[in-house]
Amino acid sequence: MLKFDVMKKQGLARVGVIHTPHGDIKTPAFVGAATRATVKALTMKEMRELGSQAILANTYHLVLRPGPELIKEAGGVANFSSWHGPMFTDSGGFQIFSLPNVKISENGVKFKSHIDGANFEMTPESSMQAQWAIGADIHMAFDHLAKSENYEDMKIAMDRTHAWLERCKIEHDKLSKEAAKNNKPEQYLYAVVQGGTFNDLRAESAKFCAEIEPDGFGIGGVFTADKMDEMLKTVNSILPENKPRHLLGMGEEPIDLFVGAEYGCDTFDCVGPTRMARNGSLYTPNGRINIKNAKYKHDFTPLDPECDCECCKNYTRAYLHHLFKVDEITAKVLASIHNERFVVKTVDKIRESLENGTFEEYKTEFLKRYYKT
RNA sequence: GCUGGAAUCGUCUAGUGGCAAUGACAAGAGACUGUAAAUCUCUCGCCUUCGGGCUUCGUAGGUUCGAGUCCUACUUCCAGCA
Strand B, nucleotides covered by protein (CB < 7 Å): 26-40
- Please say whether the beta carbons of A181 and A155 come within 8 A: no
Q: What is the pLDDT of residue A373?
A: 73
Cβ partners under 8 Å of residue A174, min gap 6: none
> Domain A3-270 is classified in which CATH homologous superfamily?
Queuine tRNA-ribosyltransferase-like (3.20.20.105)
* Residue at minimum CA to C1' distance from nucleotide B37: A275
Rounded CA gap, A35 and A56, in Å?
7
Distance A137 CA to B2 C1' (A): 85
Q: What is the pLDDT of residue A99?
A: 84
Question: Which residues from 80-99 of A have any strand B atom under 7 Å from their CB?
Answer: 90-91, 93-95, 98-99
Distance A272 CA to B32 C1' (A): 7
Q: Where are the alpha helices (DSSP H) in A247-357?
A: 254-262, 272-278, 310-314, 317-325, 329-355
Residue among A265, A251, A228 nearest A354 (CA): A265
* pLDDT by 10-residue block (mean), chain A, 373 residues: 97 98 98 98 98 97 96 97 98 86 90 88 97 98 91 95 98 97 96 96 98 98 89 98 97 97 98 98 98 96 98 98 97 98 98 98 97 86
pTM of the model: 0.94
- Please say whether the beta carbons of A18 and A244 come within 8 A: yes
Q: Report the C-alpha dihedral over residues A34, A253, A294, A305, rounded to 10 degrees.
A: -90
Question: Which residues from 232-291 of A have any strand B atom under 7 Å from their CB?
Answer: 248-253, 256, 269-272, 274-276, 278-281, 290
Q: What is the pLDDT of residue A100?
A: 80
Distance A332 CA to B25 C1' (A): 22
User: Looking at this protein, which amino acid is placed at residue A7?
Assistant: M
Q: Is strand B in 7 Å reach of the CB of A332?
A: yes
- Strands A13-20 and A3-10: what pairing? antiparallel
- Please say whether the beta carbons of A251 and A342 come within 8 A: no
Distance A370 CA to B65 C1' (A): 64
Domains in chain A: boundaries: 3-270, 272-373
Which string of DSSP letters, residue by residue, matches A157-197? HHHHHHHHHHHHHHHHHHHHHHHHHTTPPP-EEEEEE--TT
* Residue at minimum CA to C1' distance from nucleotide B29: A293
Q: What is the pLDDT of residue A224?
A: 81
Rounded CA gap, A194 and A60, in Å?
19
Q: Which residues of A are the active-site residues?
A: 90, 269
A256, closest nucleotide (Cα–C1'): B33
Distance A185 CA to B60 C1' (A): 88
